[in-house]
Structure 1
Amino acid sequence: MKETRLLVPASIHQQMIDQCRDSLPFEGCGLLSGVGEHVRHLWPLPNEARSDKRFFVSERYVEAAIQKAAEQKDDILAIYHSHPTTSAKPSSYDILQHTDAQVYMVIVSFKNSAPDVKGYRIINQQSNSIPVHVVEDEKPSPFESK
């Protein structure tokens, strides 16, 4: 069982917020991948529903992102999406559509002037809050080859 928190590098956290903001007035969405509790990559996805109340992504886009994450030796850690005008709490629709208890849900809310980012684990259609910690970006080791 994974840790019940996410550690998100500051640059990825900002990319997620920026992508969701750029999607306004519609919900933005995508996947976060990494190892354990550490997010390493962000995979933006198109919201084909073009709605401010829900998102939909075709299987082909999701599969392509999962494949790219696998090539990075990452697991899918979370699905993220935004709430353009409501708080960062899962809606009943969000909970109903979230079928994998091993994958977290991250919501970016633009209800207030500052974006609000919250994480959840959805188990048996119940949402449980999990911490989303913004951490410093990792510096590459001087010994790693480029």
Structure 2
Amino acid sequence: MEAQQTKSIITKAAYDLLIGICKNALPMEACGILASSEGILRDEDPYIIDTVIPITNKHIDPTHSFTFDPAEWTSAYYAMQKNRQKLVGLFHSHPRTEAIPSSSDSEGFLPASELSYWIVSLRSSETPHVQPYRRSEGAFIPLELVLT
């Protein structure tokens, strides 16, 4: 039986890039993908996120929701494959609200996905709050964020 993921590990450089991408998108929601180049430390440890790839938000109301640009998503996915990276997470920002999944976040998430799901709250842009989650039995379970 596989151990449940309890933490998400991200490099400091990737974390800083994630915050910068989200701040630069204001007042729109930023979105994109998180990848790992390193593989697994031990069987029970999660991947280390070292790559942040922004994807243009094509939602009809990008100040309150997000939708990946399909062409950019496809291009990014194939670039990760070519670079031997593993897709490990999705992210988006909440420009005005807390880093808590909204009802639209729940509707748009793949129910059986093993990806982590990161929300960056810019409610206080001076002190952004980043919260990774995993999805389990229809609920978002907060993960411990570990900077490396």
Instruction: Report the TM-score, using the length of structure 1 for normalisation.
Output: 0.85
Mapped pair 1:75 → 2:86: yes
Structure 2: gaps (5+ residues): 41-46
**Count of paired positions:** 135
Structure 1 residue runs of 5 or longer lacking an equivalent are: 136-146
- Change in CA separation of 1:47 and 1:111 when aligned onto 2, cut-off 3 Å: same
Task: Please give the alpha-carbon distance, in whole angstroms, between the structure 2 residues aligned to 1:26 and 1:59.
Answer: 18
The structural deviation recorded for 1:69 is 1.2
Identity, % of aligned positions: 22
1:1-30 Cα deviation digits (max 9, x unpaired):
574322111111011100110000000011
SS at match of 2:51: strand
Matched, 1:39 2:49: yes
Alpha-carbon distance in structure 1 between the residues aligned to 2:74 and 2:55: 11
Instruction: Give structure 1 regions of 4+ aligned residues with deviation exceeding 3 angstroms.
Output: 1-4
Match 1:110 to one of 119, 122, 132 = 122
What is the SS of the residue equivalent to 1:11?
helix
Partner Cα distance (1:70, 1:132) in 2: 25
Selected match of 1:121 from 118, 122, 134: 134
When the two chains are superposed, the root-mean-square deviation of aligned CA atoms in Å is 1.6
Q: 1:60 is paired with a residue of what secondary structure?
A: helix
Q: TM (normalized to structure 2)?
A: 0.84
